[in-house]
Structure 1
Amino acid sequence: MTTTTVTAPALAVGERVRFARPSDESTWWWDVRATDTRFTVLTRQRPFRVKGELLYTIIDRERGVRGPCNLIGQGWDIEEPGGCERLLDALLRHADNAPGLRVEVSHRNNLPIEIHETHTPASPVRTITPSGLPGPALPAPNAEEFAPLGTFRGIDLQEDLDDAAVWALGHHDPARFAAAVTDYDVDLTRDHLIQPLQVDDVEHTHAVVLHRIASHDPGWVVTWAPRHQITGTTPGAFPITLIHR
């Protein structure tokens, strides 16, 4: 173990941390769950609750603070597989002014970063970096488990609310895909005056599966975040077509 007081050291997934502030919580250990060069997401067991109910905190090195996110209620679904990674992605989208949820560390509820102690386990750790995945990709989803929200113009569509995108497996003709998503929006809103989406809105890219979730349908968490630099040669990658909201 190491004992020191620092502003914001580099941390790796798997490390444990004790903060100096607030002093009445300085004996609590936090687990590093997702991290990059600016943000780190940590969790710990919620006191006096059943095992598995977690608290979370976010380190923002650039601002020199830690705390919960700025969303109403300051909550995030961190207990689901991939929840911490999705929170980190949302923080990075905000920092890069990219489309998506406007997520950052709360400006009203935060503390200066003062790490009192860190502990690195003997087992290997995994770190999310701007050019790396948080772990090995899993096999691509097959057609049977894809469970689309609907089929429009022969294309099975899925919507990712976290990343504000509608997407489909495979690389589809851009004009057909734009028309399919327009039909999906009309069906969803019953508004036939919706402005049709354009070919320029369509993107061909690749994604990977990060987690399988047995209790959920469709049962997996995927990412195509540009910071991961996923290409057709990335192990486990599969082609997708998407339109960002």
Structure 2
Amino acid sequence: MNATGTPTTPITFEPGDRIRFGLEPRRPYTVRATSEHFVVCTRQRDFAPKGDVVYTVIDWRNGIRGPINVIGQSCDVRTDEQCQLLVADLDAGRWTISHRNRVQLDILDRGQS
């Protein structure tokens, strides 16, 4: 999709909060880890065994979200610790959001779990 966004004022999220995005309104994500600039969210993968999740990363500085820029966009985010490591790597600049698979930030609503 290669979307470009605009810097967005961060919303305070806590792990466990739920977010719905405009492109996936019926598939809420759960916040797993946060930092000043990034939020890692996961949801159960459709039609997959329990625990098989998909993820998206919110980038407040660029007003975008998407997977990270690795081949296949795969990243192990099954545990909270792995999500926190991903946020730390994003903050350190070791990873960025995929240029090919990013979308503009499209938060519909949020709620506590």
Same fold (TM over 0.5): yes
The AA in structure 1 aligned to 2:103 is: L
SS at match of 1:28: strand
Residues in 1 aligned to 2:14 and 2:88: alpha-carbon distance in whole angstroms? 16
Q: CA deviation at 1:32?
A: 0.2
Q: Does 1:110 align with 2:102?
A: yes
SS at match of 1:89: helix
Counterpart in 2 of 1:33? 32
Counterpart in 2 of 1:167? none
Q: Residues 1-245 of structure 1: matches in 2 within 5 Å? A: 8-20=10-22, 22=23, 25-80=24-79, 82-94=81-93, 102-121=94-113
Query: What is the TM-score normalised by the length of structure 1?
Result: 0.41
Q: CA deviation at 1:80?
A: 4.1
SS at match of 1:52: coil
Give the 3 Å change call, closer, same or farther, for CA 33–27 of structure 1 in structure 2.
Answer: same
With CA pairs under 8 Å and 6+ residues apart, which has the higher RCO, 1 or 2? Answer: 2
Q: Is the 8 A contact 2:33 2:80 kept in 1?
A: no
Q: CA deviation at 1:9?
A: 2.2
Point out the structure with the larger helix share: 1
Query: Please, which runs of 5 or more residues in structure 1 have no aligned partner?
Result: 1-6, 95-101, 122-245
- Percent identity reads 39
The AA in structure 1 aligned to 2:100 is: R
Residues in 1 aligned to 2:89 and 2:46: alpha-carbon distance in whole angstroms? 27
Q: Which runs of 4+ in 1 moved over 4 A?
A: none
Per-residue CA distance 1:170-221 (angstroms, 9 max, x = gap): xxxxxxxxxxxxxxxxxxxxxxxxxxxxxxxxxxxxxxxxxxxxxxxxxxxx
Query: What is the TM-score normalised by the length of structure 2?
Result: 0.87
